[in-house]
Amino acid sequence: MLTTLAMLMSLSAVNTVMAQADNEVDVQLVLAVDTSRSMDSEEAQIQREGYVSALKHKEFIDAVKDGLTGKIAISYFEWAGDVVPGSVIDWQVIENEQDAIAFADKLEARPLEMQRRTSISAAIAQGAAMLVSGPYHGIRKVIDISGDGPNNSGNPVAPARDKAVEAGIIINGLAIMLRPSGTPGGLDQYYGDCVVGGPGSFVLPVHNIDDFAVAVRRKLVMEVSGIGAPPAVRRIADKPAMSDCLVGEKQWQDMFDR
């Protein structure tokens, strides 16, 4: 009886370890993509195509394979004044080209919906919730946020960022700077001071829509591989902030006070 019980306990422990190993990935990566109406439909479509192209690219797939476990877990959603209903693509493990293409095809098939306002704080909250409740365990947990303007809706962005970073989440930013955003110091400076955070976090600015696909691919490879960002695109979160993290809210209020 005791021998049988010991064997059953041993098998249970082995099964638990195997289950944990199956759920272990190098990175849990949430792609949070801005689809606010400050971008026109052509720019939004090029942005979508940039993500699809990057996910299918050999450089991205090679970065996944070169990881410690050789696999990542990835999910996706779109946001504007809030998370766009129905835009969430749930977690999928990527460890080979077929997996990456399957995820990219899901994204490509989604209808593109543009909505009002910009709530980066809502995007961070959604990404953090998905990371915490997801079925996988990443050595690193990353929210990848792309956007073309400062937070102007919902909760303030800096406290949302700080809460996520305290939970062990890294937030990186893709600052889409195709036209002036009215953000003092530039949108990349604002993202560096108010949005990104965590060890090795960085901001990658995009000034030309034709460069978007390359920028997305470069960003995904850095996030998957865990390599540091070049100094030209890196913002160090523990430096004193130069940006007013409520600038977007103030700009929005000014529109109604005139």
Residue 19 DSSP SS3: helix
Strands 203-206 and 89-94: unpaired
Burial pattern 74-108, b for ≥16 Cβ within 10 A else e, equals bbbbbbbbbbbeebebebbbbbebebbbebbeebe
State the pLDDT at residue 198.
94
Name which CATH class applies to 24-257: alpha beta
Measured CA to CA, the distance from residue 243 to residue 182 in angstroms comes to: 12
Kindly give, in sequence order, each residue whose CB lies less than 8 Å from that of residue 159, ignoring residues fewer than 6 positions away: 121
Q: Where are the domains of the chain?
A: 24-257
Strands 137-147 and 169-176: parallel
Question: Would you say 71 and 27 are in contact if contact means Cβ atoms under 8 Å apart?
Answer: no
Closest CA to 48 of 128, 133, 105: 105
Rounded to 10 deg, the angle between the 212-225 and 41-56 helix axes is 40
Rounded to 10 deg, the angle between the 187-194 and 157-166 helix axes is 50
pLDDT tens per residue across all 258 residues of the chain: 546 555 555 554 444 444 456 799 999 999 999 999 887 788 888 889 999 999 999 999 999 999 999 999 999 999 999 999 899 999 999 999 999 999 999 999 988 888 888 999 999 999 999 999 999 999 999 999 999 999 999 999 999 999 999 999 999 999 999 887 778 889 999 999 999 999 999 999 999 888 888 999 999 999 999 876 655 454 444 455 668 998 887 877 766 554
Numbers of helices and strands, H then E, in the chain: 9, 6
State the pLDDT at residue 256.
57
The verdict on pTM exceeding 0.85 is: yes
Per-position DSSP letters for 41-76, written without gaps between them: HHHHHHHHHHHHHHHH-HHHHHHHHTSSSS-EEEEE
